[in-house]
Chain A
Amino acid sequence: MAYRWTNTLTQADITPKAAYLNRRQILAGTVGLGAIGLAGGAQAQELEPNTLEEITSYNNFYEFGTGKEDPARNAHQLVTSPWSIKVAGMVDNPGDYALADLLDGLTVEDRIYRFRCVEAWSMVIPWNGIELADILNKVGVQSGAKYVAFETVVQPDNMIGVQRRVLDFPYVEGLRLDEAMHPLTIMATGIYGEPISNQNGAPIRLVVPWKYGFKSIKSIVGITLTDEEPPTSWNKANAREYGFYSNVNPNVDHPRWSQASERKIGGGLFASRQETLMFNGYPEVASLYEGQDLSVDI
């Protein structure tokens, strides 16, 4: 079932390692080539992946603190090996799976996705991951299951934010089954071809590119199939501000700030804003929400 979704970008678009390690140095040396870059088309330029440094040093992972640089500072304490995932609920083969067993035989693909945070910043991230549908099919989804619930690990001694009770931990998230089975939805295990860093959600995290970043739950230890909409952490914390769907939607503002535009990380002090795209630029998911009023189902 892998390769159901194809990037408009290819492997050649992935920044070479030497470059992503410090793109600013490279850019400094290639100012003269800037004009050629401009001719390359807005779309391609817009989807230039962020550097690994950017991706790993500006994170929201409240279990490790609320500052953007806190996860990079504190997440080394997360213990990711051994790792097992409890698969439960309406599945044919429930149980505690060692991570390697759960993923055994499944295909890891490169997926360069836009990533849009609910706080109105964005990145472009070259993930390596497995279609969630492949994992769900492997464990066998029973008929009648309508939702997938996810849970993040809690290691209180290693997670300073858990001790501070910023949210009601463990962090939980959920998707409707059709969202979970969509080919765009992946479980990421790597970035830039390397194992995903702890602050990015090691050893395995969800990536749903058309939804705000907080839906893409990190460091997953539980997957449960249910027939009822599962609770989700930010919705529990503030239902007025964070709905179950949380699709990227420039027409529906967060109550406290506009969602019409975003700032792509990496542009420096004078970076300009860019317009936020409906479904974060993934119109192929629109059919999932036919008949729904997305200004109500936020």
Chain B
Amino acid sequence: MPNYHGLYSLLWSQLVPLLLLLIFIVIDASVKELFIFERLPESIILIGQDEVNYSVNVIKDNIRNLDVLISLDILSIESANGLYNQYFLYRTLFLSIISLLSGALGFFAISRLNMRFDARRNVEKILRFIFFIFSTVAVLTTFGIVLSLIFETLRFFSQVGFTEFMFGTHWSPQTAIREDQVGSSGSFGAIPIFTGTLLITFIAMIVAAPLGLYSAIYLSQYAKPSVRNYFKPMLEILAGIPTVVYGFFAALSVGPFIRSSGETLGLTVSTESALAAGLVMGIMIIPYVSSLSDDVMSAVPESLRDGSLALGATKSETIKKVIFPAALPGIVGAMLLAISRAIGETMIVVMAAGLAANLTANPLSAVTTVTVQIVTLLVGDQEFDSPKTLAAFALGLVLFFITLILNVIAMITVRRYRERYD
């Protein structure tokens, strides 16, 4: 197996150095800071933390250019020289070690090769390790995101009370630009924006659940193959339309239409209404419901369908009593997927539902959602330690937990029905 022998040496000579290189890149910034702190003049440290941070950053950015480093006038010429040399030495040393190691490991691998050496199995072991690393990266990233959310949220709750956030009914996240500004203390009661999210999601599901499910039933049970071949892809195009397009569809066509028809009936409707956003979002998530439901219903064994028909059931009786129950776990999964899609949807609501955090169950009034608020909190120039921006992390975390719980419920339901129907 000459190719395995080659692969074996290649992996040995490249893998460990690559890992070291990665470590080098990651720790580089900290090493620079360490070197810089050693040489930072007393005068700057005395000015304060902000000045220190600023100086360190400037030096860090220019550490590889001696002339600029000297012209910055932060460090004395002497210490600038010293810093430059020290960092240069460290870099050269580290990178040479990596190259040497690569060569050495390559030689080591080659020296192990001989006619009887089982390179194939060893390559398998190394590959297994590589795949393990890759899956670990995915898992660790998840943990990283959740942890960063949690830490920022904790910072938020050190400034705003937990109960105020979770149970407060007033949302007005203003923070002062100047200390003495009027209305400088914001209020962070998240209830109105969560009810807004729920309201819009609910409206969207009222639209998407029956439309999606019934079209799935038609497509999987009644439609001729020729019809199905055209209908299904066309329905799936709905999922491919950019949400921003749905957004202006909602804001410019559906919203005004609902308002004018509301006025005809003598109702007060704002142009930006939960109903408009919910309806359009419902249309958008139809394919999430229909496509998956169609797949699971088509996957119900033909033999069950035949069995029911042979007992004298009509097609719709067969669908209702045999196919639908057998496909239910998948359908529940499809619905929950659509719900989490609706909860996380941002663009349509930004454009069509408004920004007003009204605590209301009236679908004709303007509401706002969690995602919209996160956007508005972070758009523009913001300080990154004010309660206003930190609130975005808290909202994100709660949103994350809601979708997590939804997924868990979906999994439990699916498992329970699977026991019953397998």
* Physical interaction between A and B: no
